[in-house]
C-alpha cells in the first residue's frame, strides 16, 4: 500500500504560503517543506493535529491511500567506463554506456498484481576531466532515459489511478536508480571514482 499527504494541494486551494502556515501554527518551515515535497517518512501526530485544525479538515482529507504498492528491481546489462590519472596529475572520467532492465512490481495488499519491464539507457556519453583539484568542465552529470514498451507502464499506472502518488514514487525511484548506476560505474572502473557523479532520471509518467 502507499500513503501520501495532500498538504501541497490543500495549501494551494486556500492560497496559503508555507511561511504563513508556519507563523500561524508554529510548525517549522523545514517540516512543511518536507510534507509538501512528500519526502518526509514520518509525521508526528501533533503536526497532523495542528494542520487539520488549522485547515479545518479531518485526517481522512489530509491523507491519500491506495492498496497498491510499487517497487523496482534494477538489473544492469551493459556498463562501460574509463578512468585515468597521468604523471602530471591530469585526470579523466568517462561513462560511455549504461543499460539496465528495470522491473516495476505492482502489488495489491501484499499480493502480486503485475510486473512490467522497463528499459534504462544512458542518453549520451560523458567525459569529466581536469588537473589536480581543478575540473576542465562540468560534465559529472549523466541522464538515464526510462522507457516502457507500448506505454504499458503508463497505461497501468493510470488504470490504478496512482497519479497522486507520482512525487513519492518518482523521488524514491530516482534515488534507487542513482545508487544502482553509481555502484555499477564504480564496479566497472574497479574503484570508487564515480561517487560524486549525479544521476538524473524520470519515470515515463505525467505528474498529474
| Total-model pTM | 0.85
Model confidence at 106: pLDDT above 70: yes
Query: Rounded to whole angstroms, how far apart are CA atoms 48 and 129?
Result: 49
Model confidence at 120: pLDDT above 90: yes
pLDDT mean across residues, the chain: 93
- Sign (positive or negative) of CA dihedral 191, 195, 200, 203: positive
Please tell me the predicted confidence (pLDDT) of residue 32: 94
- Sign (positive or negative) of CA dihedral 17, 18, 23, 25: positive
Phi, psi of 65 (to 5 degrees): -140, 145
Q: Compute, in degrees rounded to 10, the torsion defined by CA atoms 93, 94, 97, 102.
A: 40
Query: Rounded to whole angstroms, how far apart are CA atoms 166 and 134?
Result: 39
Q: What is the DSSP letter of 197?
A: -
Model confidence at 208: pLDDT above 70: no
Span 93-116, average pLDDT: 97
Please tell me the predicted confidence (pLDDT) of residue 132: 84
82 beta partners: 94
Strands annotated E in the chain: 2-5, 63-66, 68-85, 90-108, 111-122, 126-131, 134-135, 141-148, 198-202
What is the pLDDT confidence band of residue 41, given thresholds at 50, 70 and 90?
confident
pLDDT in tens, 160-178: 999 989 988 998 999 999 9
CB 146 within 8 Å of CB 201 = yes
Model confidence at 151: pLDDT above 80: yes
CB 83 within 8 Å of CB 93 = yes
pLDDT in tens, 51-69: 999 999 999 999 999 999 9
Radius of gyration of the chain (CA): 21
Span 127-151, average pLDDT: 90
Amino acid at each position: 500500500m502507499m500513503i501520501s499527504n495532500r498538504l501541497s494541494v490543500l495549501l494551494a486551494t486556500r492560497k496559503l504560503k508555507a511561511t504563513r502556515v508556519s507563523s500561524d501554527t508554529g510548525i517549522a518551515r523545514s517540516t512543511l517543506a518536507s510534507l509538501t515535497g512528500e519526502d518526509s517518512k514520518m509525521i508526528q501526530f501533533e503536526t497532523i493535529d495542528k494542520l487539520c485544525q488549522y485547515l479545518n479538515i479531518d485526517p481522512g482529507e489530509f491523507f491519500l491511500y491506495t492498496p497498491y504498492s510499487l517497487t523496482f528491481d534494477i538489473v544492469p546489462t551493459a556498463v562501460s567506463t574509463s578512468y585515468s590519472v597521468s604523471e602530471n596529475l591530469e585526470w579523466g572520467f568517462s561513462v560511455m554506456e549504461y543499460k539496465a532492465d528495470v522491473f516495476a512490481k505492482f502489488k495489491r495488499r501484499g499480493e502480486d498484481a503485475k510486473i512490467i519491464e522497463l528499459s534504462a539507457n544512458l542518453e549520451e556519453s560523458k567525459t569529466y576531466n581536469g588537473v589536480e583539484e581543478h575540473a576542465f568542465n562540468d560534465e559529472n552529470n549523466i541522464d538515464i532515459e526510462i522507457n516502457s514498451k507500448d506505454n504499458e507502464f503508463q497505461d497501468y499506472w493510470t488504470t490504478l489511478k496512482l497519479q497522486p502518488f507520482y512525487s513519492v514514487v518518482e523521488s524514491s525511484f530516482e534515488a534507487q536508480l542513482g545508487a544502482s548506476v553509481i555502484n555499477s560505474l564504480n564496479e566497472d572502473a574497479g574503484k570508487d571514482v564515480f561517487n560524486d557523479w549525479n544521476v538524473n532520471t524520470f519515470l515515463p509518467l505525467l505528474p498529474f
